[in-house]
Structure 1
């Protein structure tokens, strides 16, 4: 590889990137005007560009390998999960001996051993553990997540980081997602394109149950399982974190949910259903992961080198009947709480109870706030809080009260949730 001053970078050998260099040595018909062919762009890609991969599962393994082989040499990866035996059929960086180990650590070690000269820095933990200073160091962020909640968090965090006086504070987010034979890749540029929050109404309706139903009148086996995980676990175990990958924790939830189901004469609580409810299991297929990961890494390469125009801004693939793909520009939502301002206007009836308002926040496609807590806009009055258990019990009677009686004509309500890194100001009007 011809690097700056004609000297190969550390760990490289002549012609290592021969095929990639065909793109970087000279401009093409679709090259960005900012493209500077030759040693400079190669040096940035291989020696200066720092990229973050969030998730080291099915998508993440493919993304890490693609980036390393494309020429990215300073890669960081975050994942909070450990390797399960069920991962081995599609997460090809892992082996049976790795079961139980952190995904991020094993994936980083494997890539560095297989691709000389590449440095992969792992972090075993949550993305929420890191602050803005951590994310500010990267030129690009790629998500290979299976969690809507985590995607919403990183999306909002990157938007909040933007400083109009500092162009480097704008961090492009490349998001990939798969579900069976379907997948999507998209490019999100803060304050330029639509954000992840803008497209919530495109997602499948999330499975969520009102707290009063699971606490008082369960009708489905899922209600009993949700009760065990949401209410009983914190009551019995306090601050101890539930590990949905721990068979003992799943076993405890199963037994507790089964006993509750028997008390209410509900059938259908099984081990597999318990695991499916608490982990929100989505099927994954290796070939879909490979295609979507390739699309994400292609966009990362284009961003790092300006060798071609990046995706504008949403690519989807459906492989259920043949292979169909479609690219379109997803528009920004004017009422998006992330990129359109943090105030959201809603219309409700004067007879609406707090419980009904919460159900609307959970079920409405363009809001989807998981387990929202409500207070007055100035934060002085607790309307309903999901946690801690003592505060939930104290505010539970408000669920049956009318919203109008609690907040009046002003109608400003502060909505918080552990799934969002911001507080949403809800401007309620009555019809």
Structure 2
């Protein structure tokens, strides 16, 4: 196979005809196009794709491998990829950029090296870290971002960040130059979805949070005092065990990583000891991984379909060669092949792009622990470790203030002097950025 030749400047001189198919799109106008077609003398769009447009891919797993391959073969040459995970042997059946010799290595680094070697002229820069480790200036440099994540929490975070990066004028209109589109892809078995989010212009990820099934949660008081099932013991190790200074840990508890075998072994052993103390059977290493990582089944063909859709939208947004998705495509391959496209509308009470104030109907006799359990399981919020403040005082706090506020869990709202129309401030690790939910309490009428 003939390969492009490198010039003295280190740039690649492409083989003649390499991008013929792409040129057929960007060299021709059309009723759906919103651009000035390229010519041989002014190949502006082609130069933009290959030299100017910088793309970020978040995740180098099943979707990420497909995304990187598709972007590189669509002409994009300036790509960053972020993934904190390492390669496991179970990844090899579908994450095709990896080989057996790569097991244990960084997904981002191996995927980038593979693409750089295979697609001449393409430069993929890898980062083995959490997306939260990068600052706002890092994200501002991208033309668009594609997320191939299996974590709802991470998707909420990047969505919130991009919404907050948009500068709004005095009349509430977003400044176009500060808008970074987010293309979100997700798969689960034979099902998948692709979505285009234009921050401050379309609905955001948080607007449709209630469309995702809430992750299994358990009452904090049950986990802390009366565990009944193996999952309670694993959650106890995650929530309380990591903060317990009396438990020896071979790592910094603030840097717990559920992809680190040493950390997971400690979590498993701690949960197993907790289970034994309460005569509970069934805590296994595999179950511990499942609870800690919320493992989702993956099929290679579904990843390929969703990644292809995401990359098509990226190409259309960057080139303006056709109208992009407005704004959600659902795929279902369980019984044949079925797709459905519709527009998710912005939610007025969205914690990220809406008014940020929600009303919640309850009763003054509800205990704080029951209230915490209810809002954690509510599809609109899907909280993990919520902390609550009202009228300038702590109702219940996680972390260092847990011991000082845990006594409030069994008190009712009436006993805590939470009145109707009072506002409760809710913070949670699952909320993007430094956002908090402002909740107005409404008491049910008898």
Q: TM-score, normalised by structure 1?
A: 0.93
Deviations 1:360-394 (A, max 9, x none): 221111111221111125xx421111213xx2122
1:400 CA displacement: 1.1
**Separation in structure 1 between the aligned mates of residue 324 and residue 295 of structure 2, nearest angstrom:** 32
Q: 1:35·1:305 contact (CA, 8 Å) conserved in 2?
A: no
Residue 19 of structure 2 corresponds to 17
Residue 270 of structure 1 corresponds to 284
Residue 284 of structure 1 corresponds to 298
Residue 131 of structure 1 corresponds to 135
Match 2:440 to one of 424, 427, 430: 427
Give 3-state SS (helix, strand or coil) of 2:389's partner. Answer: strand
Q: Structure 2 vs 1, CA of residues 407 and 36 (structure 1 numbering), >3 Å: closer, same or farther?
A: farther
> Is 1:293 the equivalent of 2:274?
no
> Is 1:385 the equivalent of 2:394?
no
Within 5 A, what are the aligned runs for 1:28-427?
28-31=30-33, 33-38=34-39, 39-165=43-169, 166-235=175-244, 236=247, 237=249, 239-376=253-390, 380-388=392-400, 391-404=401-414, 405-420=416-431, 421=433, 422-427=435-440
**Separation in structure 2 between the aligned mates of residue 156 and residue 296 of structure 1, nearest angstrom:** 20
- Please, which runs of 5 or more residues in structure 1 have no aligned partner? 1-8
1:403 CA displacement: 2.5
**Separation in structure 1 between the aligned mates of residue 85 and residue 92 of structure 2, nearest angstrom:** 14
Q: Structure 2 vs 1, CA of residues 410 and 201 (structure 1 numbering), >3 Å: closer, same or farther?
A: closer
1:260 CA displacement: 2.3
Q: 2:313·2:325 contact (CA, 8 Å) conserved in 1?
A: yes
**Separation in structure 1 between the aligned mates of residue 254 and residue 142 of structure 2, nearest angstrom:** 33
Of stretches 247-256 and 132-141 in structure 1, the one that deviates more from structure 2 is: 247-256
1:137 CA displacement: 0.8
Deviations 1:246-274 (A, max 9, x none): 33333332232223223323222222111
**Separation in structure 1 between the aligned mates of residue 299 and residue 13 of structure 2, nearest angstrom:** 34
Residue 8 of structure 2 corresponds to none
1:317 CA displacement: 0.8
Give 3-state SS (helix, strand or coil) of 1:251's partner. Answer: helix
1:240 CA displacement: 4.5
**Separation in structure 2 between the aligned mates of residue 119 and residue 415 of structure 1, nearest angstrom:** 42
Q: 1:312·1:329 contact (CA, 8 Å) conserved in 2?
A: yes
Question: Which portions of structure 1, spanning 4 or more consecutive aligned residues, are displaced by more than 4 angstroms?
Answer: none
**Separation in structure 2 between the aligned mates of residue 208 and residue 313 of structure 1, nearest angstrom:** 30
Residue 4 of structure 1 corresponds to none
RMSD: 1.6
Of stretches 333-342 and 145-154 in structure 1, the one that deviates more from structure 2 is: 333-342
Q: 1:35·1:306 contact (CA, 8 Å) conserved in 2?
A: no
**Separation in structure 1 between the aligned mates of residue 218 and residue 427 of structure 2, nearest angstrom:** 18
**Separation in structure 2 between the aligned mates of residue 219 and residue 384 of structure 1, nearest angstrom:** 24
**Separation in structure 2 between the aligned mates of residue 223 and residue 297 of structure 1, nearest angstrom:** 41
Q: 2:364·2:413 contact (CA, 8 Å) conserved in 1?
A: yes
**Separation in structure 1 between the aligned mates of residue 362 and residue 410 of structure 2, nearest angstrom:** 15
1:429 CA displacement: 2.1
**Separation in structure 2 between the aligned mates of residue 291 and residue 312 of structure 1, nearest angstrom:** 18
1:164 CA displacement: 2.8
Deviations 1:115-139 (A, max 9, x none): 1111111111111111221111111
Q: 1:54·1:77 contact (CA, 8 Å) conserved in 2?
A: yes
Give 3-state SS (helix, strand or coil) of 1:403's partner. Answer: coil
1:406 CA displacement: 3.9
Q: Structure 2 vs 1, CA of residues 409 and 370 (structure 1 numbering), >3 Å: closer, same or farther?
A: same
**Separation in structure 2 between the aligned mates of residue 113 and residue 11 of structure 1, nearest angstrom:** 16
**Separation in structure 2 between the aligned mates of residue 47 and residue 259 of structure 1, nearest angstrom:** 56
Q: 1:373·1:416 contact (CA, 8 Å) conserved in 2?
A: yes
